[in-house]
Amino acid sequence: MIIKDIQTIEIRIPYTVLGTAKTDAWGGKHWSTADALLVRIETANGIIGWGEAFGYNSIAATKTCIESLIKPLCIDQNIENIQEFMTTLQKKLHIFGRGGPVIFGLSGIDIALWDIWAQENQSSVAQLLGGSDFREVDAYASLVRYEDPKTVSDNVKHCVDLGFEYVKLHEIDLRAITAARRADPNVRLMLDVNCPWNTDEAIDMARKFQELDITWLEEPVWPPEDHLALAKIRKEGGIPLAAGENAATLKQYETLMEAGSIDFIQPSPTKTGGISTTSEVFELAKKYNIRVVPHSFYEGPGLLAAIQTSAALSDKPLVEWRFFDCEDHLYGEEIVPKNGKMSVPNGIGLGLSPREEVISKYKV
Ligand SMILES: [Mg+2]
């Protein structure tokens, strides 16, 4: 495929959540819209591929990286092997960042190129990755931070009523987390605390969570790349750990797994290198017997990438569903979980095409 053009498109879709949500826990800005950065690639023979680079507060920086650093290296290139091409780009750009907006931007390009490659082969991305027998995957409802125990409890009950078997909290207060468990004794609860504690604090908190039957504790320690601290917390805290959305590129995942620090690994297609890196993490994780559960707190092409890779490469797919009540959806209702499951779209490429009317209505 020869790349003829690359465009970046920002969309902002208003959303609500049940109760008062603390969305300024991430990046210090309250979110009233779900902001996404779409990457549209057109080939010389007219095929359109869609990718997504990590959004929210980072969009302006990532857009600049794509337009000023990445796009000039891509235009008119004839790509025969996406992984090799992405490695070439990573080598050319490595002094500007091995994570963050540079890799977010590369992730968006990579996802769009896989979409194109699959379309050229009249197959889905999952078929390119070896095929899948799954027609649907388990979705876990990923809640924002509410802080108030009653609101946490209400939201967990609401998720269970909707059919979710798995619910992830972003709480850090023990009372709020205990309220979630009391809301339902059987729901699988995961807990993402977003790197607040030092090693001793994290061990202490992990021990307190033991009686709450937490499926995994995610990113308990600051800084997230302290893999040896994570290994110590895993050993002494006595509950399963998850991490990986803040790692990027295959080598960082290998280091994370090699350290014996986690039970679940979470590559994020829009943050870590796209479908190339995510699928490589799935392969590598087999060696360490670690379950891959992609991070996908978004619902554009990045979510489709998480579904396609999980359907093809996991024995027991589980994919994150951002629990927002969005005014509209890029892919319509088809993408929204039913009874706690997301369907694996069987169209060519990523499986679904974005709705043009949604892009034109919510484009910035
Ligand atoms: Mg997380």
Residue 120: CATH number of its domain: 3.30.390.10
Looking at residues 196-225, what average pLDDT do you find? Answer: 97
Predicted TM-score of the model (pTM): 0.97
The CA 246 to ligand 1 mean position distance, Å, reads 8
Dihedral angle of Cα 328, 35, 145, 301, to the nearest 10 degrees: 70
Helix or strand run (H / E) with residue 139: strand 136-142
The CA 173 to ligand 1 mean position distance, Å, reads 16
Which of 16-25, 222-231, 272-281 has the weakest average pLDDT?
Answer: 16-25
Residues 321 and 342: beta-carbon distance below 8 Å: yes
- One-letter amino acid of 8: T
Residue 64: Cβ within 10 Å count: 13
206 with 140, same domain? yes
Domain that holds residue 321: 130-352
Number of domains in the chain: 2
Residue 19 has pLDDT above 80, yes or no: no
Which of 17-21, 315-319, 323-327 has the weakest average pLDDT?
Answer: 17-21
Q: How would residue 23 be classed by pLDDT, with cut points 50, 70 and 90?
A: confident
Residues in the chain, total = 364
Residues 112 and 324: beta-carbon distance below 8 Å: no
The CA 123 to ligand 1 mean position distance, Å, reads 31
The CA 48 to ligand 1 mean position distance, Å, reads 31
Q: How would residue 27 be classed by pLDDT, with cut points 50, 70 and 90?
A: confident
The CA 119 to ligand 1 mean position distance, Å, reads 31
Residues 340 and 162: beta-carbon distance below 8 Å: yes
Residue 98 has pLDDT above 90, yes or no: yes
The CA 195 to ligand 1 mean position distance, Å, reads 9
114 with 180, same domain? no
Looking at residues 347-355, what average pLDDT do you find? Answer: 97
Last residue within a domain, chosen from 67, 90, 125: 125
28 with 135, same domain? no
> What is the phi/psi pair of residue 95, to 5°?
-75, -10
The CA 54 to ligand 1 mean position distance, Å, reads 13
The CA 219 to ligand 1 mean position distance, Å, reads 7
229 with 251, same domain? yes
Residues 47 and 119: beta-carbon distance below 8 Å: yes
pLDDT digits (tens, 9 = 90+) for 147-168: 999 999 999 999 999 999 999 9
Going from the C-alpha of 170 to that of each of 114, 141, 156, 167, 323, the distances in angstroms are: 32, 11, 12, 10, 12
260 with 216, same domain? yes
Give, in degrees to the nearest 5, the angle at Cα 270 between 131 and 180: 90
Q: How far apart are CA 106 and CA 112, in angstroms?
A: 10
The CA 199 to ligand 1 mean position distance, Å, reads 18
Q: Tell me, what's the pLDDT at 63?
A: 98
135 with 93, same domain? no
pLDDT digits (tens, 9 = 90+) for 288-312: 999 999 999 999 999 999 999 999 9
Q: Tell me, what's the pLDDT at 26?
A: 82
Q: Which residues pair with 5 in a beta bridge?
A: 42
> What is the phi/psi pair of residue 338, to 5°?
-120, 125
Instruction: Give the chain's mean pLDDT.
Output: 96
Tokens 């917390």 correspond to 233
The CA 77 to ligand 1 mean position distance, Å, reads 35
Residues 38 and 13: beta-carbon distance below 8 Å: no
- DSSP label at 299? -
> What is the phi/psi pair of residue 100, to 5°?
65, -160
pLDDT digits (tens, 9 = 90+) for 71-95: 999 999 999 999 999 999 999 999 9
